[in-house]
């Protein structure tokens, strides 16, 4: 129960800081009647309420994952941060294929399946994002494009 209460306290403190930040938003005289402050203040208020519920009514103490699972989560974090850093220089297809293959391998330790998953996911996501949603993605490094 203590982990929920600690997390609830962290949520409340973060939401209060977010609310204080929302109060600092400058408004011009030509803004709409609601203004730009209201939405962040509503999000902060909802977060405070959720944090207070966690503090007041915690769940039973959870069963934390084994040490190996924490290691896999750390590796996944490194893979995803690397993906964010490499998507610009490597282009979308290669960086997404590597990241998806890495995460897929963590889920099921089969190199062939992970490689096919990474390749397939990168191609499908590129088509969806580039042509379906119209995002300005580069399939390959910009240096290759001239």
Question: Which of 45, 14, 40 lies closest to 27, judged by CA?
Answer: 40
Rg (CA), the chain: 22
CA distances from 101 to 106, 107, 108, 127 (A): 9, 10, 10, 18
CA distance 103 to 87: 16
Range of the domain at 49: 2-56
pLDDT, the chain, mean? 90
Confidence band of 146 (pLDDT split at 50, 70, 90): low
The lowest-confidence range among 50-54, 90-94, 95-99, 138-142 is 138-142
Confidence band of 77 (pLDDT split at 50, 70, 90): very high
Instruction: With beta carbons less than 8 A apart as the criterion, state whether 50 and 58 touch.
Output: no
The lowest-confidence range among 20-29, 44-53, 98-107, 112-121 is 20-29
Report yes or no on whether pTM surpasses 0.85.
no
93 with 42, same domain: the answer is no
Residue 51 has pLDDT above 70, yes or no: yes
Domain count, the chain: 2
CA torsion sign, 32 to 37 to 42 to 43? Answer: positive
- Give residue 140's pLDDT: 87
Instruction: With beta carbons less than 8 A apart as the criterion, state whether 20 and 77 touch.
Output: no
**Residue 14 resides in a domain:** yes
- Give residue 105's pLDDT: 96
71 with 128, same domain: the answer is yes
**Residue 142 resides in a domain:** no
């Amino acid at each position: 129960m203590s982990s929920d209460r600690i997390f609830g306290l962290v949520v409340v403190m973060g939401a209060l800081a977010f609310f204080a930040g929302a109060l600092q938003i400058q408004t011009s005289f030509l803004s709409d009647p609601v203004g730009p402050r209201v939405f962040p203040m509503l999000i902060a208020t909802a977060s405070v309420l959720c944090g207070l519920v966690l503090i007041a009514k915690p769940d039973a103490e959870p069963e934390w994952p084994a040490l190996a699972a924490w290691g896999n989560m750390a590796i996944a974090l490194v893979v995803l941060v690397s993906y964010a850093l490499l998507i610009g220089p490597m282009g979308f297809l290669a960086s997404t294929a590597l990241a998806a293959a890495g995460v897929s391998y963590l889920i099921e330790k089969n190199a062939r399946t992970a490689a096919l998953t990474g390749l397939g996911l990168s191609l499908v996501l590129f088509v969806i994002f580039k042509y379906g949603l119209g995002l300005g993605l580069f399939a390959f490094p910009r240096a290759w494009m001239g």
